[in-house]
Amino acid sequence: MTRLSRLLAAGALALAAAGASAQTVPPPQNVLQLQASGTVEVQQDLLMMSLTTSRDGSDPAAVQAQLKAALDAALAEAKRNAQPGQLDVRTGNFALYPRHNRDGKIAGWTGSAELVLEGRDFARITQTAGRINTMTLGGVSFGLSREQRAKVEGDAQAQAIERFKARATELARGFGFSGYTLREVAVNANEPGFMPRMRMAAQEGRVAAADASVPVEPGRSAVTVTVSGSVQLR
């Protein structure tokens, strides 16, 4: 027998042995699937204000230039008060599109621009928004900062784990077992996003005077962590 033949024969024997071993492994028994969740509510500490402006005209270049001038002025005012984490400034949507008449021909051009103020310093953000007179308030949203979310996620996770363990113990005893051991477990947390206050914000933006801060009031966000998996009853 050649060396290659011996190697092939050894490989075939190994595969056969592995297949036989796999066939002899008994299916899992007395395995329980379950999940539990923990939820913690916390005060929202992150504010996002969207400032917008729109222009309309027959010349697209002129409309674009007007939008750019309004956005540049708003950016200059916002950047004077910017502070990382407390007031971050970024541009949002900038769009220019044609208006068509009944015959399908271009009758004019409409454009819009957006500036976003976001951070944890509510007073700084609202006062800055009130001083910007080239754009109006288009929306207000509240959310959780990374630090706040991380803090409450830990609390919600601990709560979910304790509930998972209590549920597993209760079910094990209910089925006549003395306890359990963990087999598999997965931990998942939700990501609460910004909660908008769009209608109120639009009304306030129109009546806000120059240098006047826009009134805002945050709510609460719920952070939920879910623990799911399987346990071996014993």
pLDDT higher than threshold 70 for residue 7: no
Token reading at 209: 């005077």
Structure confidence by residue, pLDDT tens digits, 126-141 = 999 999 999 999 999 9
Q: What integer pLDDT is reported at residue 217 of this predicted model?
A: 79
What is the C-alpha separation between 31 and 42, in angstroms, rounded?
36
Token reading at 147: 């630090």
What is the C-alpha separation between 44 and 56, in angstroms, rounded?
37
Q: How many CB atoms are closer than 10 A to CB 129?
A: 31
Between 182 and 4, name the one with better pLDDT: 182
Angle between helices 122-131 and 60-80 (to 10 degrees): 140
- Residue written as token pair 């454009």: 111
- Give the whole-number percent of the chain exceeding pLDDT 90: 66
Q: Is there a contact between 218 and 47 (Cβ–Cβ < 8 Å)?
A: yes
Among residues 213, 174, 167, 220, the alpha carbon closest in space to that of 44 is found at 220
Structural domains for the chain: 46-144+194-219 (3.30.70)
What's the mean pLDDT when you consider all of the chain?
Answer: 85
Q: What integer pLDDT is reported at residue 160 of this predicted model?
A: 95
DSSP secondary-structure letter at 83? B
CA dihedral 61, 62, 63, 64 (to 10 degrees): 50
Q: How many CB atoms are closer than 10 A to CB 46?
A: 22
Mean of the pLDDT values across residues 14-21? 56
Residues 6 or more apart whose Cβ sits within 8 Å of residue 33: 228, 229, 230
Mean of the pLDDT values across residues 80-89? 95
pLDDT higher than threshold 70 for residue 22: no
Q: Which residues pair with 141 in a beta bridge?
A: 48, 196
pLDDT higher than threshold 70 for residue 12: no
Residues 6 or more apart whose Cβ sits within 8 Å of residue 71: 53, 91, 94, 113, 115, 134, 135
CA distances from 28 to 88, 206, 230 (A): 54, 66, 11
